[in-house]
Amino acid sequence: MQIDPAAHLLKEADYIPSPNMDDRPEGADINLLVIHSISLPPGEFGGNSIEQLFTNSLPVDDHPYFQQIHQLEVSAHVLIKRDGSVIQFVPFNKRAWHAGESCYHGNERCNDFSIGIELEGTDTDPFENSQYETLVELVKALCKHYPSITAQRIAGHSDIAPGRKADPGSGFDWDKLSSLLA
């Protein structure tokens, strides 16, 4: 994978701009990757509901759960679908609204200095090999383009918002990711 240095976008990803982003604070060092999981409706894969959520166009009447979340203004930098394909919503140099109230190694407001990667999945189901393959390629590209990001600076949403968030959950194999990055 390659990152366009001018646009801060993955050349291999489909780009669907999200309005749920803004500028990072002046001088912010991008130095953390945050792994999330999401499925919409919960437990269902496929479709374009995640894309609709991240672009504030989720049809409230399509599922009862959507009535609870349609007003949220959230995004991630990228989404890795079950088949390994990638959609980018926010350029990497911008602040995506993915972490919420968060803290990593004493540094609060993780959105300021992190890149959010959503994996289509649940907190309990295993992720697909194609997702790990794409994630590894993405991590390597991000580490190359943003030198402050290392394999040791990858956290789950649950790590930066303990008690509030559980993703990517028990279905995510951290050992597998580490071995694939080695």
Q: Which residues are known catalytic residues?
A: 118
| DSSP category for residue 76 | -
| DSSP category for residue 152 | T
Helix (H, G, I), strand (E, B) or coil at 127: coil
Q: Residue 29 in contact with residue 159, Cβ under 8 Å? A: no
- Amino acid, single-letter form, for residue 157: H
Question: Within 13 A of 10's CA, how many CA atoms are on the CB side?
Answer: 27
Locate 11 and state its tokens. 């050349």
Phi, psi of 4 (to 5 degrees): -70, 115
